Amino acid sequence: GAGVSQSPRYKVAKRGQDVALRCDPISGHVSLFWYQQALGQGPEFLTYFQNEAQLDKSGLPSDRFFAERPEGSVSTLKIQRTQQEDSAVYLCASSPRQANQPQHFGDGTRLSIL
């Protein structure tokens, strides 16, 4: 079966624009995670969904970041009024259940803010 799919693979935006990043998890996976990875760093947790419920959004850096998963499958991470420090790779991961299951990662969206 297909893995986690993210689109677009690359996104360039001007400072102040809004962007939307999409994640298609593996079919049937209950849990979905978003991470932000800066250059040369490990990924940092942003938010977690179990089905359509956003159970943990403690890692979202500001109220400009918003994530949703309305039907419990596809998820969208939206960043409003982008700033240069938002430039990073945004990784999505999914897993079959909440705990003790490996997370399967997509290839990420590389976001560059000019």
Partner 1 sequence: KQEVTQIPAALSVPEGENLVLNCSFTDSAIYNLQWFRQDPGKGLTSLLLIQSSQREQTSGRLNASLDKSSGRSTLYIAASQPGDSATYLCAVSNQAGTALIFGKGTTLSVSS
- Is position 112 an interface residue for partner 1 (rule: CB under 8 A)? no
How far apart CA 8 and CA 23 sit, in angstroms, is 9
Residue 100 CB neighbour total at 10 angstroms = 6
| Nearest distance, CB of residue 105 and partner 1, angstroms | 4
**DSSP code at position 74:** -
Residues between 3 and 62 with contacts to partner 1, criterion CB under 8 A: 4, 33, 35, 40-45, 48, 55-56, 58-59
> Which helix (H) or strand (E) segment is 69 a member of?
none
Interacting residue ranges for partner 1, rule: CB under 8 A = 4, 33, 35, 40-45, 48, 55-56, 58-59, 91, 93, 98-108
